[in-house]
Amino acid sequence: MNPMKNLLLITMSLFLAWGCNAQTKTEIEDMTEYKVQKTDEQWRKELTPEQYRVLREKGTERPGTGEYNLHFEDGIYKCAACDTPLFESESKFDAHCGWPSFDKAISENSVVEKKDYSFGMVRTEILCGTCGGHLGHVFDDGPTETGMRYCINSASLGFKKEGESEK
């Protein structure tokens, strides 16, 4: 057999094996228990179609279209699904990427990191630590001292302005 054909077959086998392994890891990670548990029917009733697509189906909004991309008021960014505080406005910055970006979460337990093997890439997905809703991804290319860039979908967020009372 020709060496190029051998190399191609080996590469394809490794790619397929990696893909199967990634699926198994994703299935295992999706079994995490969260404090807020609801059926798909309940989530569909409570969320807008776009919020459901992003938060529950791991969708991504188009860059530059989200309500909070260039939003810089003082306050707290919360999970749109369960109201958990996620990010403080002081940690927000304009990363020029088209999505709201933060350099740190509000607390250690507010977000959960999971490996994401979708689209042939290895990334770190960010989920709400309370309901498991998909928020976005985190990268280690941030410009602040934390070095982190939490790239979050606006559809995953709500906002409580500083000094605003709870509703």
Binding residues for Zn(2+): 79, 82, 128, 131
Q: DSSP assignment, residue 164?
A: P
Structure tokens at 139: 């990268």
Catalytic residues: 151
Annotated binding-site residues read 79, 82, 128, 131
30 exposure class (CB count in 10 Å sphere: 0-12, 13-18, 19+): exposed
Closest C-alpha to 150, from 131, 114, 119, 124: 124
Under a CB-based contact definition with an 8 Å cutoff, are residues 51 and 155 in contact? yes
Closest C-alpha to 94, from 102, 82, 86: 102
